[in-house]
Amino acid sequence: MTIILILGALFALLLAGVPVAFALGGMGLGMLLAGGFSPLMAPQAILSTLDGFILLAVPLFLLMSNVLLKGGVGRDLFAAVQAWVGHWPGGLAVATILSCGIFAAISGSSVATAATIGTVAIPEMLNRGYEKRFVYGLLAAGGTLGILIPPSIPMIVYGFVTEESVIALFLAGIGPGLALLTLFVLFSMAHAAMRGMGRAEVASWAERRQASIRALPSLALAVIVIGVIYTGAATPTEAAAIGFAAALLITGVILRTLSWQGLREAAIESMATTVAILLIVAGAKVFGKAIALYRLPQEISAFIGEMIDTPLAFVAVVAIVLLIMGLVFEALSMVLIMTPVLLPAAVGLGLDPIWFGIFMVIMVECALITPPVGLNLYVIQAVARATMGEVARGVVPFLLLMFVTVALLYALPDLALYIPFKL
């Protein structure tokens, strides 16, 4: 009963338009006061959140991808990939998806991925006669690869709140990320074949070489960031710092495409996003402390244990709940509200916490592209000057492919767990 009242009050605050960070923090603080616990815990929880070294990776990864975005790296990357695969059936679409996948490996954000590649790929695909709806859906969905292929800001946040290894989460995202990427590529090729899309001419070796050289620094950056984390040469936070420095070097010195104006915009943009994200994490920490003192996660876990006794049923119910929440809720808040509530039950049913994190990230991706609230839809809408309806209809097949990936992940947990634990 208490839990229904608490979640009801929280949702009321959120839907009334209180910023998520302060709705969570305020609700937690109210619960502390009502339960006779010390309100000192609220500022302490905020401070201890911001004192987390792993969260320092958030502004640094954002700085890296924003600098690359302002430096116009998307154009070079897209041109290079296109030179190699442009003549395949649906070549332009395949190039778009692969570019999203590569940019995902240098960016922890799906919105940045959709914006970077979308700006270049959308006009190009429309010019070549691709169907509008397909193009918008492809870009909105392709962008979500940004948070499944490491680095990934939602994974950093999940790792922080659950005290699981962010490195293991990053590595666990690679398998499902590649699986989803493959499904998108196959669908694009099938779509183009069915529509009888003409193929582009094969690029000459000279063109390929020239395009690849320009894209090489960004590709190298992706390899370095993942490599440094994988080999343990530096922590994810340090890897993010190196990535930021390298991004400045690439766009400011090597390619000379980053202006002072661009750098200032990247800095202020990254700051705003960081503050918005980290305060939600801090608010969720206050809320998490309060519900733990009320022993709510244990109660929910026991309740779920009585109602649901197989992992499959649990995963299915959670997926449906997250999909419904995702209609209204913004993605990161969803992870932060639901993880502390659900993880004890998930672990109780024998699910691996890292696996559960990857599952949550894919469900969050679905939330990012389901209307009415889906950040990637807004981005594509803005970049392409399209209507919400066009974009939303376009994502439907891609949404189904994400469900297929979730099913694959359930059937083959090693899709996620092999690289971090068995390789």
Partner 1 sequence: MPLFALFVTLLAWAAAALFVAAGAMLTYEVGARYFFTAPTIWAAELSQLCLIWGSLVAMAWCLRERRHIRITAITGLLPRGPRLIAEAAAMLTVAVFSVVVVWKGFEIFWDSFERGRTTGSMLDLPIWITELAIPFGFAVLLAQALVEALRAARGEVPEDGAQGEGGMGE
Assess 197 for contact with partner 1 (CB under 8 A).
no
When the beta carbons of 278 and 409 are compared against partner 1, the nearer one is 278
Instruction: Provide, for the chain, the percentages of residues in helix, strand and coil under a 3-state DSSP scheme, each rounded to the nearest 5.
Output: 80, 0, 20
Contact 209, 92 (CB under 8 A): no
Decide: residue 47, CB within 10 A, 0-12 exposed, 13-18 middle, 19+ buried. exposed
| Minimum CB distance to partner 1, residue 371 (Å) | 10
Assess 15 for contact with partner 1 (CB under 8 A).
yes
Positions 363 through 382 that interact with partner 1 (CB under 8 A): 364, 368, 372-373, 375, 378-379
Distance CA 314, CA 345 (A): 9
Report the residue from 165, 330, 388, 418 that binds partner 1 according to the rule CB under 8 A. Answer: 330
DSSP annotation of 250 reads I
Report the residue from 3, 126, 220, 245 that binds partner 1 according to the rule CB under 8 A. Answer: 245
Distance CA 267, CA 253 (A): 18
Assess 331 for contact with partner 1 (CB under 8 A).
yes
Assess 44 for contact with partner 1 (CB under 8 A).
yes
When the beta carbons of 231 and 350 are compared against partner 1, the nearer one is 231
Positions 120 through 179 that interact with partner 1 (CB under 8 A): 147, 153-154
Contact 200, 86 (CB under 8 A): yes
Assess 50 for contact with partner 1 (CB under 8 A).
yes
Q: What is the contact mask toward partner 1 in residues 262 to 301, using x (rule: CB under 8 A)?
A: ----xxxxxxxxxxxxxxx---------------------
When the beta carbons of 115 and 416 are compared against partner 1, the nearer one is 115
Q: What is the contact mask toward partner 1 in residues 205 to 234, using x (rule: CB under 8 A)?
A: ----------------------------xx
Give the Å distances, CA to CA, from 400 to 46, 144, 153, 225.
39, 14, 24, 31
When the beta carbons of 228 and 346 are compared against partner 1, the nearer one is 228
Report the residue from 6, 65, 162, 405 that binds partner 1 according to the rule CB under 8 A. Answer: 65
Measured on CA atoms in the order 131, 136, 137, 139, is the torsion positive or negative? positive
| Minimum CB distance to partner 1, residue 357 (Å) | 14
Distance CA 255, CA 216 (A): 11
- Long-range contacts (CB closer than 8 Å, 24 or more residues apart) made by 410-417: 410/312, 410/315, 410/359, 413/352, 413/355, 414/175, 415/175, 415/176, 415/179, 416/172, 416/173, 416/175, 416/176, 416/354, 416/355, 416/358, 417/172, 417/352, 417/354, 417/355
Token couple for 113: 């991925």
Is the bond preceding residue 413 a cis peptide, omega within 30 degrees?
no
| Minimum CB distance to partner 1, residue 130 (Å) | 23
User: What SS3 state is found at 230?
Assistant: helix
Report the residue from 6, 80, 100, 112 that binds partner 1 according to the rule CB under 8 A. Answer: 112
Contact 146, 359 (CB under 8 A): no
Written as one string, the DSSP assignment of 57-109 is HHHHHHHHHHHHHHTTHHHHHHHHHHHHHTTSTTHHHHHHHHHHHHHHTT-S-
- Which of 62-70, 133-141, 253-261, 316-324 is the region at the interface with partner 1 (rule: CB under 8 A)? 62-70
| Minimum CB distance to partner 1, residue 88 (Å) | 29
For the chain, the maximum distance between any two Cα atoms, rounded to a whole number of angstroms, is 73
Report the residue from 59, 71, 173, 262 that binds partner 1 according to the rule CB under 8 A. Answer: 59
Assess 320 for contact with partner 1 (CB under 8 A).
no
When the beta carbons of 160 and 314 are compared against partner 1, the nearer one is 160
| Minimum CB distance to partner 1, residue 134 (Å) | 23
When the beta carbons of 350 and 372 are compared against partner 1, the nearer one is 372
Report the residue from 31, 56, 102, 318 that binds partner 1 according to the rule CB under 8 A. Answer: 56
Report the residue from 104, 115, 125, 409 that binds partner 1 according to the rule CB under 8 A. Answer: 115
Give residue 360's Cα distance to chain centre. Answer: 10
- Which of 108-116, 212-220, 251-259, 399-407 is the region at the interface with partner 1 (rule: CB under 8 A)? 108-116
Report the residue from 1, 4, 5, 16 that binds partner 1 according to the rule CB under 8 A. Answer: 16
Report the residue from 7, 9, 22, 257 that binds partner 1 according to the rule CB under 8 A. Answer: 22
When the beta carbons of 152 and 188 are compared against partner 1, the nearer one is 152
Q: With left for phi above 0 and alpha for psi between -120 and 50, is residue 330 left, alpha or beta?
A: beta
Assess 74 for contact with partner 1 (CB under 8 A).
no
CB-based contacts of 422, cutoff 8 Å, min separation 6? 414
